[in-house]
Chain A
Amino acid sequence: MMSHRPLYMKSRYRYLKWFLWLVFVIGVVICGSYGFSWRRTPQDLVTHSILKDKTFEAKVQEIVSPQLKIKAYLIEDKTNPIISVSFLFKNAGYATDNEGEQGIANLVASLLTEGTAELTAQQLKEELESRAIAVSFAADRDDFSGSLLTTRDNMFKAFALLRDMLGHPRFETDDIMRAKAVLTEAIRRQNEHPQNRLSLRMNEVLFAGHPYGRNPLGKTKDINRISETQLRQFVADNLNRQNLIVGIAGDINKNEAERMLDNVFADITSSGRINFVRTPEIKFDGRKVLMSEPTGQNISLKAVAGVGRNDADFYPLFIANQILGGSGLTSRLSQEIREKRGLTYGVYSYLDLSDKAPLLMAGFATTAENYAEAEKLFAKEWNAFSKNGVSAEELAKAKNYLIASYNLRFSSISGIADILAAMQKYNLGADFLKKRNEYVKEVTLEQVNNVAKKYFDVNRLVSVSIGRFNEETRE
């Protein structure tokens, strides 16, 4: 009957009631140090926790470099002597690759760490590894991004190396050949997993004829033909200060960060020539595509129009998605298809925030014999969501999750730098981190039910599935 045993245990509750005062007195004596109080529900453990007053404010500074006037966001954090810089070149992702050069953004991303004018690939890597400086680049659908992680001790060396990687890439023939071999090998392997084949097919189905329909890795034929001149042209056109966004976090002050910007981004061009990607015209007409293959399990992927990060419907849709198929096992889809029936290991929905075609996506995997039932349940839930909306209780629950989990995103310095870059990409403002929980709180039941009706239309949902299908599931 000690205080460490929770007092609300149902099986013991009636016995404990007899000893309420006794327990209280013992409890005060034993647990006085952490403010014991009579608790009835587990949630009270939070209300009365000795840790309940811990709060956090991430102070975002808007900085501008003195010479080149590069703007950036900074969060200074001195808990660990490390620094992360996250940057992106907007609209320089793989969707902007020239026709006949599909894969060039990826190729450049892997080659920027393969040497500078002064250092061969091996020399550069030795420099980076011996000082534990991590630099990497990547091209996603919309943007070309990069990140730097360094210790404070090595920061000046790190900035100098990054400046050279961006401004004076080496592009040596041998290194280009090697990067091409790695990329084409990745394309070859891409088709080995049914999930990848399904995703590629979904891109084609939704975006036929539009650059979003491309293979994210590129085309082997194109990659093999890309020349050094083309690589240099890509850098000149796409990696410039006009489309640059930078987020900085860690053990670096405003002054140092501003000088870093002038240093690191000094040798790239001030402006370039970007291929702007048009908005695709997508037919959300409820069509179903089946890829018949002898896989171990069927996988299904669904898509319908969503909204961009700055749309008035964004927060209501964000919350609606959390309720229908967001993280956790209590979402409606998880409850109906996984928890109550054991038909799948995972069913989910999420918002895809691609610049030119924001989507609401969903999917699940299940063995062929369960597939028809899972599809029926999925359609039923999706339809009911659109028709009946959500309850006030569900809304409160989703908001609680989104607000209570908010601080989890500040676990790593590079994660924080990424957030700062994303805030600028989406024009959320430097005070976004302060306001975000308010944005979530403000969403009303009516707004969520309106977006449920507006976006979750089962007749518009495009579906692509891979696996084994029978007569019933072919219909």
Chain B
Amino acid sequence: MKKSFLHILLLSGLLAFSFGAQAKLFNGDEFVLDNGLRVIVLPNHKAPIVKHMVWYKSGGADELSGKGGSAHLLEHLMFRGTDNVSGEEFNRLTEENGMDGNAFTGQDMTAYHQSLDVTRLELAMFLEADRMQHLQISDKDFALERDIVFQERKQRVDNNPVAYFGEVLRRSLWQEHPYARPVTGMPEEIMSLTRDDVIDFYNKHYTPNNAILVLSGDIDVSTARDLAQKYYGGLKKHPQLNKKDFPELENPSRFRVDMSRPQINAYRVTRVFAAPSVNFMAEDIYALSVLSAYLGEGETSRFYKKLVVDDKVAVGVSTSYDFASRSYGTFNISAVPQQGVSPEELLKRLDDEWENSVNALNKAKLEKVKNKMLSGMVYLRDNPNEAANIVGALAVAGMSLADIEAQEDKIRAVTVEQVRSAARRLKEKSSQIEGILRPERQEVL
């Protein structure tokens, strides 16, 4: 059966911009093992299933320059076997035990995860702990997996003009900052990676004191504590873990990317800001979360009402704000112009409506937005897989579970003036990129 679009939209909207709720949203717990491994437990007893995730606080941004794609290639090679369990054995064990497992690599992190019946959890923990420190990479496996990630890059980016556009936008926004580089690596970079590049990344970053274990599902805190100690407690911590220093974006840049591609049939416009995050001007993050919800999240938002419903200059418009990052966050506006409206015109209208909306914000409007953000928080407790994803993503960016759990208060505390000044700072002081994606065959507008 089809998952309803709106349903997903609403839920993902909730997930994207607001994470807290009642004092203890997840009723979780967290503790740290002697070797530095941070463990977060999120009990959910609906069914005897659990999500087991290990998040490393390292990703594409930690690669050496010219070695783009090494974090991601390593992620693939983590399925090719260790000193103790061969790759085939690993895949056979996870599949025979019904685990839906996978991994993903981002700019700031790399995560490995399995959804599984809780009766199989000990096996999953053994396998995950084992590959944290005993990975084996043969030349043959290295060459094969490099070919596979090359194909993955082709499939995800080179066959998808919209993804390609996103990559160009990021490069222009972030310039010399490591976020400019695509996590997949460029095709020629991927093919020039060596086994040593990947082993180097593994040795530097895959260690319990650079990782977070998340257990979400049918497990209580004390059992989780025993099992975490049993399987992960014996791993050695890295004696010298270097914390990466991210460069600051100097002289806020304002660029426009105007791109046309032969495959593209419809116009799109976007504006992306290098924004505050939990690690950069963190005092603005809740105000900006509220701003994003107010401006462009959902079909009662200001942008939607004005630009789509009333003035009919856009077919769709949305904003999103992501503050879960180790360096800057991103604030994003995207819109699709109505037939006959030029992309330049729509960008102008978005700017105007930003100003009008920020000026029109008052206490009553603010309360309504907060209510919209917070009323559905109880849903976040429903699916243990989603809970693990949300909490893990925030924790790996540096938030404590207590902060993650108690955000309702922070959102409730946001004032009109805070939203206005955060909006002003974002608009006037931050680096930003404006993007237009258009068909190669230009229609008469």
B155 interface neighbour in A6, A346, A370, Cβ under 8 Å:
A346
**How far, in whole Å, are A151 and B376 apart by their CA atoms in the complex?**
8
A342 x B145 contact (CB < 8 A) = yes
B229 at interface by CB-CB < 8 Å: yes
CB distance from B113 to the nearest CB of A (A): 13
Task: Give 1 or 0 for each of A372-407: 1 = CB within 8 Å of chain B CB.
Answer: 000000000000000000000000010011111111
A301 at interface by CB-CB < 8 Å: no
**How far, in whole Å, are A191 and B161 apart by their CA atoms in the complex?**
11
Closest chain B residue, CB of each to CB of A334: B91
Stretch of A18-26, A137-145, A252-260, A454-462 that contacts chain B: A137-145
A401 x B162 contact (CB < 8 A) = no
B11 interface neighbour in A49, A134, A140, A299, Cβ under 8 Å:
A134
B28 at interface by CB-CB < 8 Å: no
A343 x B47 contact (CB < 8 A) = no
Q: A49-B121, A178-B309, A181-B315 are in contact. Are A400 and B151 (CB under 8 A)?
A: no
Chain A residues contacting B144 (CB-CB under 8 Å) are: 339-342
Chain A residues contacting B92 (CB-CB under 8 Å) are: 330, 397
B360 at interface by CB-CB < 8 Å: no
Task: Give 1 or 0 for each of B363-382: 1 = CB within 8 Å of chain A CB.
Answer: 00000100110011011011
A412 x B300 contact (CB < 8 A) = no
A345 x B148 contact (CB < 8 A) = yes
Chain B residues contacting A421 (CB-CB under 8 Å) are: 1
Task: Give 1 or 0 for each of A394-434: 1 = CB within 8 Å of chain B CB.
Answer: 00010011111111101111110010011000000000000
Q: A2-B234, A54-B218 are in contact. Are A404 and B120 (CB under 8 A)?
A: yes
Chain B residues contacting A131 (CB-CB under 8 Å) are: 375
**How far, in whole Å, are A318 and B123 apart by their CA atoms in the complex?**
27
A51 x B223 contact (CB < 8 A) = yes
Chain A residues contacting B381 (CB-CB under 8 Å) are: 80
Task: Give 1 or 0 for each of B298-336: 1 = CB within 8 Å of chain A CB.
Answer: 111000010011001001100000000000000000001
Chain B residues contacting A134 (CB-CB under 8 Å) are: 4, 6-7, 10-11, 376
CB distance from A223 to the nearest CB of B (A): 13
Chain A residues contacting B44 (CB-CB under 8 Å) are: 79
Closest chain B residue, CB of each to CB of A79: B46
B2 at interface by CB-CB < 8 Å: yes
A34 at interface by CB-CB < 8 Å: yes
Q: A54-B119, A129-B300 are in contact. Are A297 and B48 (CB under 8 A)?
A: no
CB distance from A263 to the nearest CB of B (A): 21
A43 interface neighbour in B93, B118, B230, Cβ under 8 Å:
B93
B154 x A125 contact (CB < 8 A) = no
B38 at interface by CB-CB < 8 Å: no
CB distance from A380 to the nearest CB of B (A): 19
B383 x A400 contact (CB < 8 A) = no
**How far, in whole Å, are A126 and B100 apart by their CA atoms in the complex?**
38
Chain A residues contacting B376 (CB-CB under 8 Å) are: 132, 134, 151
B83 x A9 contact (CB < 8 A) = yes
Closest chain A residue, CB of each to CB of B2: A138
Task: Give 1 or 0 for each of B28-57: 1 = CB within 8 Å of chain A CB.
Answer: 000000000000000011111100000000
A136 interface neighbour in B6, B120, B126, Cβ under 8 Å:
B6
A408 interface neighbour in B116, B157, B162, B338, Cβ under 8 Å:
B116
B361 at interface by CB-CB < 8 Å: no
A189 at interface by CB-CB < 8 Å: yes
B298 x A188 contact (CB < 8 A) = no
A193 at interface by CB-CB < 8 Å: yes
Chain A interface size band reads 35 or more
B119 x A46 contact (CB < 8 A) = yes
B100 x A46 contact (CB < 8 A) = no
B49 x A408 contact (CB < 8 A) = yes
B160 at interface by CB-CB < 8 Å: yes
Chain B residues contacting A412 (CB-CB under 8 Å) are: 382-383, 386
Stretch of A81-89, A199-207, A442-450 that contacts chain B: A81-89
A33 x B160 contact (CB < 8 A) = no
Q: A8-B84, A46-B120, A86-B1 are in contact. Are A400 and B265 (CB under 8 A)?
A: no
A325 at interface by CB-CB < 8 Å: no
**How far, in whole Å, are A53 and B14 apart by their CA atoms in the complex?**
36
B197 at interface by CB-CB < 8 Å: no
A135, A407, A422 pick with most chain B CB within 10 angstroms: A407
**How far, in whole Å, are A342 and B190 apart by their CA atoms in the complex?**
14
Closest chain B residue, CB of each to CB of A8: B84
**How far, in whole Å, are A421 and B386 apart by their CA atoms in the complex?**
23
B117 interface neighbour in A4, A338, A343, A407, Cβ under 8 Å:
A407
A366 x B83 contact (CB < 8 A) = no
Chain A residues contacting B48 (CB-CB under 8 Å) are: 54-56, 407
B127-161, CB < 8 A from A: 127, 130, 143-152, 154-155, 157-161
A11 at interface by CB-CB < 8 Å: yes
Q: A45-B123, A51-B122, A345-B151 are in contact. Are A4 and B229 (CB under 8 A)?
A: yes
**How far, in whole Å, are A113 and B299 apart by their CA atoms in the complex?**
11
B121 interface neighbour in A3, A9, A51, A192, Cβ under 8 Å:
A51
Chain A residues contacting B127 (CB-CB under 8 Å) are: 42
A269 at interface by CB-CB < 8 Å: no
B264 at interface by CB-CB < 8 Å: yes
A4 x B265 contact (CB < 8 A) = no
A137 x B4 contact (CB < 8 A) = yes
B252 at interface by CB-CB < 8 Å: no
CB distance from B266 to the nearest CB of A (A): 5
B352 at interface by CB-CB < 8 Å: no
B11 x A79 contact (CB < 8 A) = no
CB distance from A28 to the nearest CB of B (A): 14
Chain A residues contacting B219 (CB-CB under 8 Å) are: 51
A349 at interface by CB-CB < 8 Å: no
B6 x A135 contact (CB < 8 A) = yes
A229 at interface by CB-CB < 8 Å: no
Chain A residues contacting B122 (CB-CB under 8 Å) are: 45-46, 49-51
B206 at interface by CB-CB < 8 Å: no
A106-136, CB < 8 A from B: 113, 121-122, 125-126, 129-132, 134-136
A3 x B230 contact (CB < 8 A) = yes
B339 at interface by CB-CB < 8 Å: yes
Closest chain A residue, CB of each to CB of B47: A410
B85 at interface by CB-CB < 8 Å: yes
**How far, in whole Å, are A295 and B121 apart by their CA atoms in the complex?**
42
A400 x B46 contact (CB < 8 A) = no
Chain A residues contacting B91 (CB-CB under 8 Å) are: 328-330
Q: List 7 A-B contacts (CB under 8 A).
A: A42-B93, A125-B299, A132-B14, A343-B147, A404-B98, A411-B385, A414-B3
Known: A55-B48, A345-B154, A397-B95. 6 other contacts (CB 8 A): A52-B119, A79-B45, A135-B7, A138-B2, A345-B152, A397-B96
Closest 10 CB pairs of A and B: A404-B98, A136-B4, A296-B158, A132-B376, A342-B147, A405-B98, A136-B6, A410-B47, A345-B152, A4-B234
Which B residues form the contact surface with A (CB < 8 A)? 1-7, 10-11, 14, 44-49, 79, 83-85, 88-89, 91-100, 115-123, 126-127, 130, 143-152, 154-155, 157-162, 218-219, 223, 226-227, 229-234, 263-266, 298-300, 305, 308-309, 312, 315-316, 336, 338-339, 368, 371-372, 375-376, 378-379, 381-386
